Structure 1
Amino acid sequence: MSNLPVEPEFQQAVSEITQTLEPFLAKNPEYRRALEVVQIPERVIQFRVTWEKDDGTLAVNRGFRCQFNSALGPYKGGLRLHPTVNLSILKFLGFEQIFKNALTGLMMGGGKGGSDFDPKGKSDNEIRRFCYAFMQELSRHIGADLDVPAGDIGTGGREIGFMFGAYKKYRNEFAGILTGKGANWGGSNIRPEATGYGVVYYVTEMLKDLDNTDWKGKKVLISGAGNVAQYAALKVLELGGKVLSLSDSTGSLIATTDEGFQAKDITRIAEIKLERKSLTAFVEESSNASGDRFKWYLGERPWKLVEKADIALPSASQNELNGEEAKALQKAGVRYVAEGSNMGCTLDAIEVFENSRKSIKSLTNTEGVVFYAPGKAANAGGVAVSGLEMAQNSQRLKWTPEEVDAKLKDIMKTCYKTCWDTGKEFSEGSALPSLVAGANIAGFIKVANAMRDQGDWW
């Protein structure tokens, strides 16, 4: 690591994987070479994006695509549009994506891309002009059998539509080169819901194994207010849980009554987010309409704001839950933490959760444990349905919502079992397997073996 540039997010991701792979590498030292190789992207593309503002002035942004690993299939991963985007963040996301995609069981490699362009405060015409300029260069480097990007933070259905239209004009072909497309022109049913639903389906399996229980009556903390948080919240409500919180970059909204958030609240928040407004707009509305159902905490995250909860789903961004907050969750009685966001927990937070797990000698006595699931497993539902969208595009078919949802449930259940079984093999000293070790080791083995078969290491 010493000869790498300063890339803190990427180095954090590599460090986390390396630490959890150690029990496997100790038994299989030949795979250390594979770990060295897989850390280096196959290709990194960086380019200039110039576009015209509504006032006629020229704007310029940086565009990126990190094509990290194609051992299992075409590069697959989202396009993030956010002012914080840089190579470190995209390399971390692309690196995680390799193993996440492997855990779905679908044939997809790993990649990530985007730009430091900020869609907030831009008109639809400005966003369209940026997307066309961005795709003018990106179109040279993607294809249905090469690299199939998707949406991510800042890249929703509108942006995917503009980018797809641009690609079609530049390349003169209608091809499945993006996922998250409109439902009436190649998109898959359940794609917007997939990441949020998938997290809940994954935790459903965790609930069965640790406490032989389900979602009914469970008090759930959720961060974020975008697609992942919204659909996770709706699925929690559908299964009988209670949603206590949502948040965004401006602060956290905490339910003050026993009923928590209702579906109508989440629907209204979704509408506000589509208008590119912050949660403060909902706070103002709800204060006028419903009095004291919610309390607003300016600039705070939800993890230390409630006295009692059962489940926490970080679903906003990376490093959104730290060690101090992890201890607060443990004190509040939280038993399950699953990341809807990528690398949502810091390394010291993961250490708190994993230390609680290591002390468990019998599954009949699990007091104080926090069962933790990393994002590369728990939030794999989004890319899983993206893979299903690719399959539908290849066949020129469209599956029903029920068919896609059934396949998503099966993928998440299989992903969890893979993490549990592999974690059990390499989690000596504890009766409760490490889902972190299970996810990292299982994903790594699958990718490393494919790379070895193809001559990338030996």
Structure 2
Amino acid sequence: MSLIKDTLSRIQQSSPGEPEFYQAVEEVLESLEPLFKKEKKYSEHNIIQRIVEPERMITFRVTWIDDKGKIQVNKGYRVQFSSAIGPYKGGLRFHPSVNSGIIKFLGFEQIFKNSLTGLPIGGGKGGSDFDPKGKSDNEIMRFCQSFMTELYRHIGDTIDIPAGDIGVGGREIGYLYGQYKRLTGSYEGVLTGKKIPWGGSLARTEATGYGAVYFADSLLTSRNDQLAGKTAVVSGSGNVAIYTIKKLIEMGATPVSCSDSRGFIYHKTGINLNTLQQLKEQGKNESLEEYAKIHKDAKYTPVKDYPKGRNPVWSIKCDLAFPSATQNELNLADAKELLKNGCILVAEGANMPSTPEAVHAFLEAKILYGPGKAANAGGVATSQLEMSQNASMLQWSFEEVDGRLRNIMHNIYLSASQTAEEFGQPHNLVLGANIAGFRKVANAMIDQGAV
């Protein structure tokens, strides 16, 4: 379709050196072709050219002082991509890999993910190339205070509500929120992912991982199957992976792997959740090598021993796969290995963890495949539930939030599935999720005029 080619060419020219962003845009636009053919109004209102350009891209310098008294410099970002259906909403990522292309890819995906939740939230994302690993609490605090000193003028509880992401947990949110209050004198729900005593929501920490499992449960139920008795492989060892593992165990499955940037664990009898949490939670980031020292029947493989271009997590025989670490972590060779070993379901806990070639392989095989913008929407959905609690000065029980989350994830599955059926591709939830998410935002843009 010439519109897609022209759009990709234009953004590559206007935004050079942003491959992840191009990948995200191409994947969405290709899925939308059947919609463009069916409904001409989106072309007539120039929606595509409008939606691929952020409403606002903010870039700023972050200077902070380390424990030796030396001034350090990092780069900060906030992309406010779309406010058609609500205030901008999306996490902050602190990681050395962060650049404008990563932030724009994440923000673009967030538009449709947030739309799919059915909640009134637009798409945004932000972060910095700052690395919290190896930094003291005081260094992290000083960085967060400097970061918020710039960011605060661009956000607000009805404007833009950031949350956490990779490298930004409860500790970082606390430092960011404290600085926001100091600068504005306002105690408002301008950040989500807060700790419980000062405005946080129960079940928020667990939400993305739990949500991915609830989505997988809906997928399996559609084929009269269930999670109980299944073997699952999980990548990552942050919040998403940990709570994916926890919920899988609770629902009768056996998760047998986890990983970090240094290596991965294979534990055939099942990952020990307590050990994993002891190594990775409460600001800790101990190597998974320690896990294998505690559990002698587990095998640890360091990154240096990985086959070139491969992640061995995806070579483990399994029924279910939950890529929950980072973008493009699962390639075509990995996908072929999963399929060869009998994997029947892939639910993405991370953002765009599968390469386009891997996604194509899953769709060709017609396995149950939950793309990230649908399967990992539980985190942002619960963030919006936190916003609702803050606005009403209430705190709901864990059970109430968890029940709402499970209902939202099932409704996301239904929306993506029914839309895929509408366009004659019932197995293709990539198409279903993209069209369902896009259509809601695009219709709002048309209703609101040329804004």
Q: Are positions 1:384 and 2:397 aligned together?
A: no
Please tell me the residue identity of whatever aligns with 1:453: D
Task: Specify the alignment match of 2:298 in structure 1.
Answer: 293
| 3-state SS, counterpart of residue 139 of structure 1 | helix
Distance 2:296 2:163 in 1: 40
Residue deviations 1:405-431, cap 9 Å, x none? 010011001010000000111234xxx
Match of 1:170 among 183, 190, 197: 183
Q: How does 1:338-353 map to 2 (within 5 A)?
A: 338-353=347-362
Task: Specify the alignment match of 1:412 in structure 2.
Answer: 409
Structure 1: state its 5+ residue gaps: 358-369
Residue deviations 1:128-177, cap 9 Å, x none? 00000000000000000000000000000000000000000011111110
Match of 2:424 among 421, 427, 430: 427
Contact 1:50 1:133 in 2 (8 A): yes
Q: Are positions 1:266 and 2:260 aligned together?
A: no
Match of 2:71 among 46, 55, 58: 58
Contact 2:242 2:273 in 1 (8 A): no
Distance 1:418 1:180 in 2: 26
Contact 2:315 2:337 in 1 (8 A): no
Match of 1:454 among 435, 448, 451: 448
Contact 2:279 2:287 in 1 (8 A): no
Contact 2:107 2:125 in 1 (8 A): yes
Distance 1:69 1:415 in 2: 20
Contact 2:81 2:88 in 1 (8 A): yes
Q: Are positions 1:443 and 2:437 aligned together?
A: yes
Contact 1:183 1:189 in 2 (8 A): yes
TM-score, normalised by the number of residues in structure 2: 0.94
Residue deviations 1:205-232, cap 9 Å, x none? 000112x111111000000000000000
Match of 1:311 among 300, 307, 320: 320
Identity, % of aligned positions? 52
Contact 1:221 1:302 in 2 (8 A): no
TM-score, normalised by the number of residues in structure 1: 0.92
Residue deviations 1:384-411, cap 9 Å, x none? 0000000000000100001100100110
Task: Specify the alignment match of 2:230 in structure 1.
Answer: 218
Contact 1:246 1:302 in 2 (8 A): no
| 3-state SS, counterpart of residue 79 of structure 2 | strand
Contact 1:7 1:88 in 2 (8 A): yes
Task: Specify the alignment match of 2:332 in structure 1.
Answer: 323
Contact 1:254 1:302 in 2 (8 A): no
Contact 1:104 1:412 in 2 (8 A): yes
Instruction: Give the superposition deviation at 1:191.
Output: 0.2
Contact 2:88 2:159 in 1 (8 A): yes
Please tell me the residue identity of whatever aligns with 1:279: L
Please tell me the residue identity of whatever aligns with 2:346: V
| 3-state SS, counterpart of residue 410 of structure 2 | helix
Residue deviations 1:37-86, cap 9 Å, x none? 10000000111111001100100111110000000111000000001111
| 3-state SS, counterpart of residue 140 of structure 1 | helix
Instruction: Give the superposition deviation at 1:267.
Output: 2.7
Contact 2:279 2:286 in 1 (8 A): no
Distance 1:124 1:454 in 2: 45
Distance 2:422 2:276 in 1: 41
Distance 1:36 1:302 in 2: 40
| 3-state SS, counterpart of residue 274 of structure 1 | coil
Task: Specify the alignment match of 2:372 in structure 1.
Answer: 375
Distance 1:405 1:269 in 2: 26
| 3-state SS, counterpart of residue 402 of structure 1 | helix
Task: Specify the alignment match of 1:12 in structure 2.
Answer: 23
Structure 2: state its 5+ residue gaps: 1-7
Match of 1:395 among 381, 392, 397: 392
Task: Specify the alignment match of 2:4 in structure 1.
Answer: none
Instruction: Give the superposition deviation at 1:297.
Output: 4.5
Task: Specify the alignment match of 1:27 in structure 2.
Answer: 38
Please tell me the residue identity of whatever aligns with 2:212: V
| 3-state SS, counterpart of residue 443 of structure 1 | helix
Instruction: Give the superposition deviation at 1:324.
Output: 0.8
| 3-state SS, counterpart of residue 50 of structure 1 | strand
Please tell me the residue identity of whatever aligns with 2:49: E
Task: Specify the alignment match of 2:341 in structure 1.
Answer: 332
Task: Specify the alignment match of 1:111 in structure 2.
Answer: 124
Distance 2:447 2:152 in 1: 30
Q: Are positions 1:239 and 2:233 aligned together?
A: no
Instruction: Give the superposition deviation at 1:263.
Output: 2.8
Instruction: Give the superposition deviation at 1:279.
Output: 1.8
Task: Specify the alignment match of 1:367 in structure 2.
Answer: none
Distance 1:276 1:9 in 2: 27
Distance 1:73 1:334 in 2: 38
Distance 1:304 1:453 in 2: 45
Distance 2:183 2:230 in 1: 50
